[in-house]
Chain A
Amino acid sequence: MEDFVIRAEGVSKQFRIGGLNSSNSLRGYLENLLRSPIRAVRRADRVYSEQVDKAGHFWALHDVSFAIRPGEIVGLMGHNGAGKSVLLKILSRVTLPTEGHAMIRGRVNAMLEAGVGFHPELTGRENILLSGAIQRKKWAYINRQLDAITAFSGVETFLDTPIKRYSSGMRIRLGFAIAFHMAPQILIIDEAFTVEDSEFGARCQAKIQEMAQDGTTILIVSHNPEPIRAMCSRAMLLDHGHLIFDGAPGATLAEYHSHAR
């Protein structure tokens, strides 16, 4: 077994469609029990015909296998519903796979959304502390990082203002700054470059490359091809839950565009 930090073997994730929304009450659950075979299949045919089996099971990921080595910056691409976010959620242990096995060597810090866990009533400083604790960081460590985080995000003057007074841009910048300063060994970022602010986007790219040079492994999802081409050493392409391409960013991007749907 060679040197890996993330290794996925036959990872699959199944959802039951039709059941999910309506089973939110006991009545819905009982109703589903009576009617589910017919209804689930009918809905299934309408929406995702290829990925759904007869019982209304939707495979968001299907038999995905790969290995990522230390210090790689890997881009994950795919159209809406390809399974990118589900894969990130499995690797960051938010949800479990239905089948398969993944191994992760080292500590993962995932940012599936900028500013996860921010509470609008709390100040910037308080939210930094809370975000750090969510990422399993000790109080003392976060306090040491406080200056670097505020400098990176550029919210210095608003540090003691409740987050609800922040602009959405400030909130996103603070979210990224926190994610970058949690000393991750493996950093997972979803929808990384939806950042409006191009100056800040460039700063994030530089920071990610610097972290990779220090040995951090990075896995990012982006809809925007430019940062993938500029930063990644490798890119993977998901399509309807299948990993269909894994190679140099340029080749993956070409493949991505040929799969437009």
Chain B
Amino acid sequence: MMQRNKNADDRAQSQMITHIRPASRLMPIHLGELWEYGDLLLLLIWRDLKVRYKQTIIGAVWAILQPLLMMGVLSVVIGWFSGIKTGDIPYPIFTYSALVPWNFFTNVLVQSNYTILNNSGLVTRVYFPRLILPMATAGIGLVDLAIALIILFLLIGLYGITLTWTVLLLPLFILMALLTALGFGLWLAALNVEFRDFGQIVPFMMQVWFFATPIAYPITLVPEALRGVYSLNPMVGVVEGMRWALLGKGAPSIDQMLISALIVILVLVGGVIFFRYKEVRFADVI
């Protein structure tokens, strides 16, 4: 019955020898294999989205409500009470355009802590490239990001802001947000298996990080002398870039973008290496 379909496939694979050896310090990354597990990646994203809003009344509306409520709070407290000026961009849209990538980043980082633990049944019972798990966490974040972006475009229309050519750069900055979140997420996913402390530290760390990123205030409030250090936070580049792409104002400096991009690459490459190094012990330690 199934024999006919699998024969050709099998003949190729039956020649293939898998070698099982003790772990080395630097584990190779098999991109082809990751690609073969693409279906699993998509199904894991779908599974978690489907299960997430089980037993909630308003379901997926939560994905929209959270950033909107945050926007409301910030608009009142920061935009109105403190009187921070954001040029000719209305404060709500100023802050919401940054909250979209920020919420994505925060959610992915917090969830990454638990991505291996929540799937411990799989990790201790079946082989698959473990990198799929933090990737799925980032993928779920991307779905939320897409929903939040739709709302953002509606708001932009509502405020009568016209998009400029810079909106074409939006995918680039989304990619940058994705790689930043994935990079940090890989570190946290690997660390929290062994040291559950990270699951406790991260939510607090995100609160501090929020104020170290120009979300509620414009970057011009940061003293010139501190800008260099400030830009070491790669989310500065992501948020500034995203805002510029959407609102067409406040082009970020090239230096600052390059610093951010460099840090993102370092964190990501380091994260992949570290994750692969720790991964071999997940099933033993979890």
Contacts and interface: CB of A to CB of B under 8 A. Distances in A.
A110 B13 CA distance: 17
Nearest to A112: B125
26 contacts: A24-B195, A25-B196, A93-B127, A94-B126, A95-B280, A96-B21, A97-B21, A97-B22, A102-B19, A103-B18, A103-B19, A104-B17, A104-B20, A106-B14, A107-B10, A107-B14, A107-B16, A116-B125, A117-B121, A119-B51, A122-B47, A130-B44, A133-B39, A133-B43, A134-B40, A181-B2
Interface string B34-69: 001101100110010011001000000000000000
Contacts of B19: 101-103
Contacts of A26: 195, 197
A248 B193 CA distance: 42
Interface residues of B, number: 43
A252 interface: no
Given A103-B18, A119-B51, A183-B2, A92 B195 contact: no
A100 B22 CA distance: 7
Contact of A119 (B3, B22, B47, B280): B47
A57 to B, nearest CB: 13
B196 A103 contact: no
A99 B285 CA distance: 18
B194 interface: yes
Interface string A124-147: 001001100111111101001100
A95 B18 contact: no
A94 B284 CA distance: 9
Interface of B: 1-3, 5-6, 10, 13-23, 36-37, 39-40, 43-44, 47, 50-51, 54, 121-128, 194-197, 280, 283-285
A89 interface: yes
B20 to A, nearest CB: 4
Given A25-B196, A139-B39, A94 B47 contact: no
A145 B284 CA distance: 34
A226 interface: no
